[in-house]
Chain A
């Protein structure tokens, strides 16, 4: 009986690592034991989503293992078309396991803070790349060959040529999405966004699709496409993912918590950099203080996780800086700002179809800029007071954007026709063709701040009043 290591997973049941017969699985099992990978235990997959869905406390560690497991299944699809063993199979499986390695506490909000202060180590892709290329993980990966770690890092960062093997890591049917969609649905308890996973897998094929840069055509690349019998499964897949955004990922309370957290950490980093660490409530040797002072040190980024932030909140709540103490309390006690949905108000004042229109975009742009001016005025008057208005603006297209900002077959779901052509699913599915881009524009204020609430209403009304007739 060969030696197996097993993980019991609520989504996939048994996930097995054959550490005796598979060199890759033996190496990856050892990678899972490293400090950098174990840190993912302490980073929740969905950040503040448990403020809305208390069950959604699953970690990035188990998701990563689930992605590896799903990647193995996708490899079985590829084997039907390309039976010859290719080195990129192992690279893609390792990349699947390691794709989330660099995430920080409350991943996406943390990245926003990184953008604000230009902190390279707050960018999960940069951290993942460093850890895979040069850390104890790369030492372990070296057992697979000298260039293996770099090839895995390239696959994670998407820097190489798109191939069917990199499609396992990044494509419309990549292992990441096939895991998180189902896992997030399971853990939130949401009853929508269900997909016919087995039917999708049974109908996945390998196809050659066009590839270009702007108007310059390049050689076609191989990616996953679907057979004609999977049109309705594909429809449900697109629709399911699309529904997860407004209901889970972009839920107004989750996003409201992220905004407060972003402002809390921004203020903390700013005070530490200004030499006022004493005002933050944090001790000199706290991981957040070290990170703010030396953000380029990967060790300082690795010392951060969700538990560090939760542990810091009681200390910050005792800070003598009003901004930090109030916002730390708000996050700790889930006392969030109240949300005003601007696009919902536009739909109410104009008509339902108006909320996503070009005119609405223009009105939102005006409103955003006016609120920005108002915040600036208040900030000049009371520079140490926490922001009284928070803005959240998000958009998502029905298809996942894979390559930055480009359109084309890699950013759509391709269905094989009876005539053996590939067509975009939206050409065959009326439901998908009718899906409009999801857009939300929300403005948040403290429940007891009537002045801010009134000001927001005035700005929104003024913005909508400029609507072209």
Chain B
């Protein structure tokens, strides 16, 4: 697959999530779950600071912005933090697996930290950690507090209810 094709695939994640994603972390985690569920585009993921992360997806998103397939804007939160938003007007593709769209749209409005926790637990399950949620909480204590881990489990349960070609790990 040529780079421009990967750029299209990155833009397709934004498209299938409803045309708008807030934050690079969320783009990455949605991409990760699509791959894990068997409805992705072949982006490989590795464990990084914020859980599963794909260098290739990051590069493809950059390429997509250069090619005007997506528009990336930088926003400033009211407390001063910076984050990106991604928008696309790419026309829908009738051949897209509806499961992929359901999955992406289930995640797009979730809390970014909770989605990161859920993705981390799923990744650690693949890495054969006996208790992925406990390991997630151990690795990310500041993110897991305040009820976020419980809400991440609920989010994961909702995602897992969607029947996918490759079932998400039972954790």
Contact = CB atoms under 8 A, between A and B. Distances in A.
Contact of A218 (B44, B82, B142): B142
Interface string A196-239: 00000000000000111111111101000000000000000000
A161 B141 contact: yes
Given A154-B139, A213-B112, A365-B3, A406 B24 contact: yes
A123 interface: yes
A160 B139 contact: yes
Contact of A407 (B26, B46, B74): B74
A126 B44 CA distance: 14
Contact of B50 (A362, A369, A372, A404): A404
Given A210-B79, A216-B112, A407-B82, A358 B3 contact: no
A115 B43 CA distance: 10
A366 B150 CA distance: 46
A372 B75 CA distance: 35
Contacts of A158: 48-49
Contacts of B63: 365
A159 B50 CA distance: 8
Contacts of B44: 115, 118
A407 B140 CA distance: 19
Contacts of A221: 142
Nearest to A211: B142
Max chain A Cβ within 10 angstroms of own Cβ: one of B4, B22, B26: B4
Contacts of B67: 362, 365
A218 B50 contact: no
Nearest to B144: A161
B24 A214 contact: yes
A117 to B, nearest CB: 10
B60 to A, nearest CB: 11
Contact of A406 (B47, B50, B113): B50
B49 A403 contact: yes
Interface in B74-132: 74-75, 77, 79-84, 111-113, 116
Contact of B66 (A218, A362, A372, A402): A362
Contact of A214 (B7, B22, B49, B140): B22
B56 to A, nearest CB: 7
Interface string A103-117: 000000000000100
Nearest to A126: B46
Given A213-B50, A365-B67, A219 B142 contact: yes
B4 A369 contact: yes
Given A158-B49, A407-B82, A215 B23 contact: yes
The size class of the interface chain A forms with chain B is 35 or more
A161 B4 contact: no
A238 B24 CA distance: 25
A408 B49 CA distance: 15
Given A161-B141, A372-B3, A373-B2, A213 B116 contact: yes
Contacts of B25: 213-214, 405-406
Contacts of A442: none
Contact of A216 (B55, B80, B113): B113
Interface string B40-78: 000010111110010110100001001100000011010
B153 interface: no
B9 interface: no
A128 to B, nearest CB: 12
Contact of A403 (B46, B50, B56): B50
A368 interface: yes
Given A159-B49, A362-B67, A405 B24 contact: yes
B28 interface: yes
Interface string A121-151: 0010110000000000000000000000000
Contacts of A157: 47
Contacts of A118: 44
Contact of A215 (B47, B58, B75): B75
Contact of A404 (B58, B74, B77, B112): B58
B151 interface: no
B66 A368 contact: no
Given A215-B112, A218-B143, A406-B50, 16 more contacts: A115-B44, A115-B55, A126-B46, A159-B49, A161-B140, A162-B49, A214-B83, A214-B112, A215-B23, A362-B66, A369-B2, A373-B2, A404-B24, A404-B28, A405-B28, A408-B81
Interface of A: 115, 118, 123, 125-126, 154, 157-162, 210-219, 221, 358, 361-362, 365, 368-369, 372-373, 402-408
9 tightest A-B CB contacts, nearest first:
A214-B23, A214-B112, A407-B82, A159-B139, A212-B81, A361-B66, A158-B49, A405-B24, A372-B2
25 contacts: A115-B55, A125-B47, A126-B46, A154-B139, A158-B49, A161-B141, A161-B143, A210-B80, A211-B142, A213-B143, A214-B83, A215-B75, A215-B81, A215-B83, A217-B81, A218-B113, A361-B66, A368-B3, A372-B2, A372-B3, A373-B2, A404-B28, A404-B50, A404-B58, A407-B74
